[in-house]
A and B are shown apart, each in its own frame.
Chain A
Amino acid sequence: NAGVTQTPKFQVLKTGQSMTLQCAQDMNHEYMSWYRQDPGMGLRLIHYSVGAGITDQGEVPNGYNVSRSTTEDFPLRLLSAAPSQTSVYFCASSYGVGSYNSPLHFGNGTRLTVT
């Protein structure tokens, strides 16, 4: 198993550009989520999904869109990048409904800089 794979590892954008951060998992996990982490800060939840076709907002959803068309993939879209979105982005997944043993598995992060 590759686990949770995030691409790209690094990205530099200009203000106003759009891009998609990719997240894929091969563990058949129902639950997937996106966090951002700013320097010296904890993890803040952006969006999450409890299964294909279902998404919901986290703590800081503004400026980001998500969709979940398959169990494996959960892309995060920035429609018009802003400097405030400079951050490290982590994707995570876990087993889902009814599971009592569902630790989150995290990817290695995408480091995004918006100039």
Chain B
Amino acid sequence: DAKTTQPPSMDCAEGRAANLPCNHSTISGNEYVYWYRQIHSQGPQYIIHGLKNNETNEMASLIITEDRKSSTLILPHATLRDTAVYYCIVRVPLGGNQGGKLIFGQGTELSVKP
């Protein structure tokens, strides 16, 4: 699975959009981009995923560049409860000897400030 690079920390004002970038320049054609977040010391929580097209759900939007080498997670109206560490990972569908070794990296620590 391809590796990802994220900034270690970001700040965002409450009520504003939080845009979290992720670089995955070695991504291959069948790898999906997944985003998770971890609040305090809880287990990480799934947010959203995508392959090529932009995706939106009730939590966030995911924008993937046309060349798929980077993506941005958008929290449209950040609240204090969105303060967390956000992880971007890439994953192939499981099959044969692929897709099992999911490496999370350090993530981005997002601080939402009043």
Contacts and interface: CB of A to CB of B under 8 A. Distances in A.
How would you classify the secondary structure of chain B's contact residues: helix, strand, loop or mixed? Answer: loop
Nearest to A50: B100
A106 B104 contact: no
14 contacts: A33-B102, A35-B104, A43-B87, A44-B104, A45-B104, A88-B41, A90-B44, A97-B93, A97-B95, A104-B34, A104-B44, A106-B43, A106-B44, A108-B42
Interface in A85-105: 88, 90, 92, 96-105
A48 interface: yes
Interface residues of B, number: 26
Contacts of B36: 103-104
A105 B43 CA distance: 9
B56 to A, nearest CB: 16
